[in-house]
Structure 1
Amino acid sequence: MSSAEQELLSNAAITSFRLNGQFLAVAEQLAAPSGLTAARWQALGAVLSAPATVSEIARTMGITRQSVQRIADLLVDQELAEYQPNPAHQRAKLLSSTDAGRDAVARIGPGHAAYARLLAENLGEERLRDAVELMGVLSRALDELGLPDQASAQNR
């Protein structure tokens, strides 16, 4: 029989999976007019203010380095981003946005602002802020716990 804590964890996971899918669908719609995908928008967004390595972007986004590498290479091929030398690490180049990449992201801005306004009006800005804060709290708690170890999980 499942405990109340197990049910809460399962419901949190299911809700976050649903939210992830919903956010990705919204991002795809918002990014499409600029010729980007949600993934390319996300990677470009990670380097708009400062260049970063593929590994840094992957850690920030919570996805694999290989996934980010594929997206970064596509962005470079499309001349929306470029690789720069990394003074801190010879092999791990820095990804940075080009002017064309910044322009593509800027074209998303008006639709993004309009949708953000609709969401804040629908939910209420304070409730939206609280939800974002709680998602951050949950994410940090999961980071602190790390991945479950089968043996220690059974003894808890």
Structure 2
Amino acid sequence: MSRASEPPTPQALLSGAAITTFRLNGQFLTVADRLAAPAGLTAAWWQVLGAVLTEPLPVSGVARVMGITRQSVQRIADLLVERGLAAYESNPAHRRAKLLAATDEGRAAIARIGPGHTAFAERLTEAIGGRAEFAAALAALTRLSEALETLADEAAASADARRTGG
């Protein structure tokens, strides 16, 4: 049996998934920047504003939702507040960790992205082969993300146990 017909090794699959995901991330950021630009936003600003459209969140909560560092979100949040697109509100659950909330101006900026976002989503759905294909791709990506999170949590718990001798 030739090697070409054998399925890829787990290591090759992991590497391929990582490289493809990094490429997808770059592609999504490029598209998001193009869609957000007419509204005076960047992809990162759009992401942070989008996280607080329905309810105010602390910066750490936005970071958790987005899967990025609190420091990165803090820099963006400060810029959004400076430009009047978001505001800090008091947090009844934590006196020092203010809540970030979208302002009316921020909501209006996000609304201006809507038509272009809808048109691009429809073109992408068609290009990938329709809603069912797109839904299947999303489901696979979601399973991959959940598996990585579970394994990362297990690795962290194992490392903690080794560190504490437990």
What is the TM-score of this pair, normalised by structure 1?
A: 0.92
Q: Which residue of 1 aligns with 2:9?
A: 4
1:132 equivalent in structure 2 = 138
Distance, in Å, in 2 between the alignment partners of 1:133 and 1:56 is: 24
CA distance in 1, matches of 2:53, 2:110: 9
Task: For 1:105 and 1:146, locate their aligned partners in 2 and report how far apart those are by CA, in whole Å.
Answer: 33
SS in 2 for 1:146: helix
Moved over 3 A (4+): none
Match of 1:69 in 2: 74
Which protein has greater RCO, CA pairs closer than 8 Å, 6+ apart? 1
Q: Which residue of 2 aligns with 1:90?
A: 95
- Cross-structure match for 1:115: 120
* Structure 1 gap ranges (5+): none
For 2:151, the equivalent position in structure 1 comes to 145
Q: Give unmatched runs, 5+ long, in structure 2.
A: 1-7, 160-166
Aligned alpha-carbon RMSD (Å): 1.6
Greater C-alpha radius of gyration: 2
Identify which of 39, 46, 49 aligns with 1:41. 46
The structural deviation recorded for 1:122 is 1.1
Could you tell me the TM-score, scaled by structure 2's length? Answer: 0.86
Partners of 1:129 and 1:50 in 2: how far apart?
27
Percent of residue pairs identical: 60
Q: Deviations over 1:15-67 (max 9, x none)?
A: 10000000000000000000000000000000000000100110110100000
Q: Distance in 1 between matches of 2:49 and 2:28?
A: 17
